[in-house]
Amino acid sequence: MRGCVLLSFLLSTASLAGTTLYHIVSEQELATLTKDNVYTPLNFAKEGYIHFSKLSLIHYYANELYKGESAKKLFLLKVTFSDDDINLKWIGDNPDYYIGLDLSMVEQKTQFIKDQNNQWILPEQGL
């Protein structure tokens, strides 16, 4: 009996851990592409998903997708998805979310800053 209780506890806490992922968005995109507190990027109609990333790839994506002055303010959205979220799908190392993002799911919104080389960076504290 104790083994069953322990196994039940382990299974229930495993699903609480979830998967933390990140999405980059400009202030303008977030303001203009959010309706009823649900953010849906422009390419969603074409692609059918919102691309998320692991933290280790964020600097690369920020500086490739938002080069130069294409965005005045850039934010990183941190979201932890439950492991059983059927709308989060992985193709290799690429996590994609197949519905609009309810902004109540965002745990943290961190603003990027530009360094002396005009590269987007995140503040050292807070992630």
3-class secondary structure for the chain?
CHHHHHHHHHHHHHHHHCEEEEEEEEHHHHHHCEECCEECCCCHHHHCCEECECHHHHHHHHHHHCCCCCCCCEEEEEEEECCCCCCEEEECCEEEECCCEEHHHEEEEEECEECCCCCEECCCCCC
Average pLDDT, the chain: 85
Q: Look up the domain containing 116 and give its range.
A: 17-121
Q: How many domains does the chain have?
A: 1
List, for residues 102-127, the tens digit of each pLDDT value: 999 999 999 999 999 989 999 876 56
Q: Who wins on pLDDT, 82 or 6? A: 82
Residue 7 lies in a domain: no
Residue 22 lies in a domain: yes
CATH number for the domain that contains residue 26: 3.20.170.20
- pTM of the predicted model over 0.85: no
Residue 53 lies in a domain: yes
Point out the least confidently predicted range of 49-58, 65-74, 102-111: 65-74
